[in-house]
Structure formats: structure tokens, C-alpha cells
A and B are shown apart, each in its own frame.
Chain A
Amino acid sequence: MAKSWEEINARIASGDAVVLTAEEFAGLAAEDGVKAAAKKVDVVTTGTFGPMCSSGVFLNFGHSDPPIKMQTITLNDVPASGGLAAVDTYLGVTEPSLVKGIEYGGAHVIEDLLRGRAVRLKSTGPGTDCYPRTEIDTWVRLEDLNQAYFFNPRNAYQNYAVAANTGDQLIYTYLGPLLPRLGNATFCSAGALSPLLNDPTYRTIGVGTRCFVAGAAGYVAWEGTQHNPNQNRDENGVPTAPSGTIAVMADLKKASPEFFSAATFTNYGVSSFVGIGIPIPVLDEDIAATLALTDADLTATVIDYGVARRSRPALGQVTYAQLRSGSIEIEGKTVPTGPISSLPTARKVAAEVKRWVAEERFTLAPPLEQLPQPGTQAFKPLEIRSEEAI
């Protein structure tokens, strides 16, 4: 029994929609069967809260008197881009402070703005006939900015690698410290709650999808960078390694520090935890079948980060249920595991999106354009070559 987007939106608008989180839906499907669950439920909500390095904000400061064409820009000593119009900038979360290095970076500036704190803006410009000022040193708060919005080029990775280290040295990575000789393994996905794992072939998630970004209602703006629909897939069509990604936008002024947190990975760099949640319409039994998958059905690939090359060796495959149990087997060895993305906060995101849809009548938008589908697009490496060789 198929349902249309219009039917589901009409039920949301009238307050009659049945909305469950992906975990709740899997529980219902296990009891009543996928068919009955698909019939009963209109919308399933997903959520994730993990470090997402490809995130940042566009800001517009307004003009000073006399005005300045900002060329070098720092916010709390963290450089922001001077490559846009006079008082526009983009601040990326991984940008380290000129003073404090990676202990304070772009993500920390954004978190400070979200917490209502004043941030020191320093800028220099060339001084032109129309923008005569050459220097400015002032303080700004989020409420003072004209526009402040997230544009995160790559969020909500569909699946991710499990990191381990067969080398003899402790190494520090973006997946945390990896102890030598397979001393631990870290993983970074909300598993069964993860947005793109619930819609593995991007049927309902595409350009224009309404979603939750750091507590604000935003949109999927485009495919994410490194979107790779052609990863290995299991018998359910779900990727078993990092694959699809989305670029998202949302108003920073409507976001919440509960769902955006700056992070520093020792000896690696700055990043930010971002909460992303997407409501998925239960259009038919096909999508219901993937919505009903649990951590025991979803697989990730263990990768050896002890090998510092683009192609790191795979050490096997494990399920998210095994990862969450606290240890996995790699090469016959029991290896303790730890997550990097917060399941408690992912659950909060999914519950909040459920509340939006069920109580605030947050309707769903069918994709204006689909994300690149499996089979359509190759994922290219960067070759190192000379001008003559190209």
C-alpha cells in the first residue's frame, strides 16, 4: 500500500500523522512486520550528532562608517575568508586560531556566537575610493549580524570507516587516538538512526529536503562533497563504507548550542559536532524495509589507519551492533571499541524532529532534484602531476 507525499503532508498538516523515530519504527516492524508498520506509520525520523569537518558559516557584518573592504579577517584571532564581497565572509570550522592553534578554531567561534557571546572582529583592507577605511577592530554578537547561516559542504556521511591501528606507535587521527597493535577501534556513525543509512538510494532525500541542522530547520542544498553513491553495498542495498553525503544550509540564528559543539582532536585539528536530522516519509514497503533495519543489519568496514596512505588496508567488516557491544574481533584479536558520534544526542535529534513533524506540523518536501544515484558518478582521487603531464 503506497502513500503519496501529498497524503502524508495532509496528515501532518491536520495533526493526524503517525510519526516514529527510526529506532521506534524498527521495534514496531519487528513486532508487527514491515508491511503492517508501513501501513500504520507516515513518517520516520532520523538523527546523527558527530564531528563533521566540512561545516562553516557565511556571515555579513554590515558596513562601518567610513566603510572597509575586508581583505584579512579574524574572529577571536581565527582567520575567516576575505575572498568575498566587502563585508561578507565564510568561516570554516577547522580553521585554527593564530594564537591558540587547534585548541580554539572556527568551530569555537561559531559556538561562542551561538551562546550569545561577543566575538572580536579584526580586519584590514586595501583602502579604496569607495571603501576608504584600512583597519577595523570591533566586537560583534550573533544578533548584530545581518545574515549568519550554515553552509556545510559535507555532512551526515552515509556510513563511515571503523578506525584501528596495526602499527607499533600510538597515532592521533580525526577518529581519535588509535592505540598501537590493535589496542582499540573507533567508529563514527549513528548506525540505524543515521539519516542516509535509512534511505540508502536517496529516494526521498535530495536537493530541497527539509531537515534539522544544529537545531534549526534547514535544507539539503546539494549533494555533499565526496558524495560517492558507488560504494560497496550489502544485500539490502546499504553501503558498507563511507558513501553518500549532503550539503546543508540553515539559519545560524535559529540554531542551538545543544546541537552544535566545537571539538579539538589532539594532534589533528579542530572540528565540530553537528546535529543533523531528516524526516523520511514511509511511501511504501520498500522504504519501510530499510527504515526497519537495526544496528545488527548495518555493516561498516574496519580500516587500518596505521598505514598513512590514501588506500588504507581493510581489516574486515563488523556490524554496528558488534561495535556498540564494546568490542569487536579483528584478525582473531578482541579489540575494544569506542564511538565518536553521540548516540544519546542523535536520539535527541530524532526525537526533536519527531516533535516538529507531529506537533509543529513540519511538512516534508519531495526532492527538487535527486542526489546522484548509484552508477552515475565516479569518485576521483587527486593525482600529483606537472603542467606538462596534463
Chain B
Amino acid sequence: MARRRLDLTFPPRQATKPITYHLVKDFDLTPNILRAQIQPGQEGRMLVEVVGPREAIDAGVAFLEKEGVDVHPAASDICLDEDECVTCGLCTAVCKPGALTLDSESKALVFDKDKCVYCEACVVACPRRAITLTF
């Protein structure tokens, strides 16, 4: 079994197609949608983790590309440089899954990596550029 994180960009008209249904039914993959931003008539984005045999993942990716979906490998790790961090807390204001929070007493930054969905919101927000994603 292989596991791969994919960053999918859907062209506007493709957005509502039941892509994940096909990944399950036709390729026997288990997709886990980490984050999706899909609105009718607009370009959509989905962060998905797929689990299945390597060949099946490759075939699934080929199918997505044929359907006009832009497929990129998504970040596999996120790194917080504590020397650069000034504990301002701004990243916590954009981290929806609650991976970045402030300790209720000390207000120090607490990073729970397990909750991270690699959405990059904190990377863009951090005024110290202290958070980076690796692929």
C-alpha cells in the first residue's frame, strides 16, 4: 500500500464532477479529502491523500489529468523555525484545523503537526517567514 498527498486544481467546468467517486469505484483507492475549495463555475482546489497500491495511484492520477485536473504533489512536511519565530501568533488566526494555537497562559506558540492539513495559510501569513513546507 502506498500513500500519496495530492494537490488538485480543477478547471471551472470540471469542479462538480464526482472525481473522488471514480477514484474509489474505478481504481479502488481510498481518498481522504484534507481540504477542498470548490464552488460552481470557479476554479476549485482539493488537497487529498490517496491510499492504495502504487500502480492504482498512478492510474488514478493519469485519469485525473485526462479529466483536465492539474495534479501536483502536495507538501509532505511542514517546518517551524523557532529561531525566526517571534511568537506574534498571527499564524494561529489563519490555521483553521487548529494545528497552530497559543498556550492559554504563556501565549507561546504550540504546533500540533498531526492536525496540519498542509493548507499553506500560515506559510503566507507568517511575517517572519518562519514556516516552510517541503515536498
User: A316–B86 Cα gap in the complex (Å)?
Assistant: 29
User: Which residues in B have their C-beta under 8 angstroms from that of A344?
Assistant: 87, 106-108
How far, in whole Å, are A41 and B86 apart by their CA atoms in the complex? 31
| Given known A179-B94, A184-B94, A264-B129, contact A342–B124 (CB-CB < 8 A) | no
A 176-213 to B, binary, CB cutoff 8 A, 1 in contact else 0: 11010000111000000000000000000000000000
Q: Which of A228-236, A245-253, A333-341 contacts B (4 or more CB under 8 A)?
A: A333-341
The answer to the question of A49 belonging to the interface, with a C-beta cut-off of 8 Å to chain B, is: yes
Interface residues of A in 250-289 (CB under 8 A from B): 261-266, 271, 273
| CB nearest to A187 among chain B residues | B93
Q: Is the CB–CB distance between A338 and B93 below 8 Å? A: yes
Residue B91 interfacial (CB < 8 Å): yes
Known: A264-B127, A266-B124, A343-B107. A177 touches B86 (CB 8 A): no
Q: Residues of A contacting B93 with CB < 8 Å?
A: 176-177, 184-186, 336-339
Q: Flag if B88 contacts A340 (CB, 8 Å).
A: yes
Interface residues of A (CB under 8 A from B): 49-51, 103, 176-177, 179, 184-186, 261-266, 271, 273, 324, 326, 336-345
Report B74-112 CB contacts with A as 1/0, cut-off 8 Å. 000000000000111111111000000110001110000
The A interface, classified by DSSP as helix, strand, loop or mixed, is: strand
CA distance A370 to B5 in the complex (A): 61
CB closest chain-A residue, reference B86: A261
Asked if B113 CB lies within 8 Å of chain A CBs, one says no
- When C-beta atoms are compared, the residue in chain B nearest to A325 turns out to be B104
Given A177-B94, A177-B121, A184-B94, check contact A340 B128 (CB 8 Å): no
B binding-site residues for A, Cβ under 8 Å:
86-94, 101-102, 106-108, 121, 124-125, 127-129
Select which of A176, A337, A338, A342 is within 8 A of B86 by beta carbon.
Answer: A342
Q: For A273, what are the chain B residues with a Cβ–Cβ distance below 8 Å?
A: 86, 88, 127
- Find chain A residues with CB under 8 A from B87 CB: 342-345
- Beta-carbon contact of B86 and A49 below 8 Å: yes
Which residue among B91, B94, B124 has the maximum number of chain A CB atoms within 10 Å of its CB? B94
Q: How far is the CB of B94 from chain A (nearest CB, A)?
A: 6
Chain A contacts for B129, CB-based, 8 A: 103, 264
Q: How far is the CA of A185 from the CA of B90 in the complex (A)?
A: 10
Contact A265 B89 (CB under 8 A): no
- 3 closest A-B pairs (Cβ-Cβ)? A338-B93, A263-B127, A339-B89
Is A342 a contact partner of B127 (Cβ separation < 8 A)? no
Contacts of B92 in A (CB 8 A): 338-339
Residues in A neighbouring B102, C-beta threshold 8 A: 326, 338-339
Set of chain B residues within 8 Å of A326, measured between Cβ atoms: 101-102
CA distance A51 to B89 in the complex (A): 12
Chain A residues lying within 8 Å of B125, measured Cβ to Cβ, are 176-177, 266
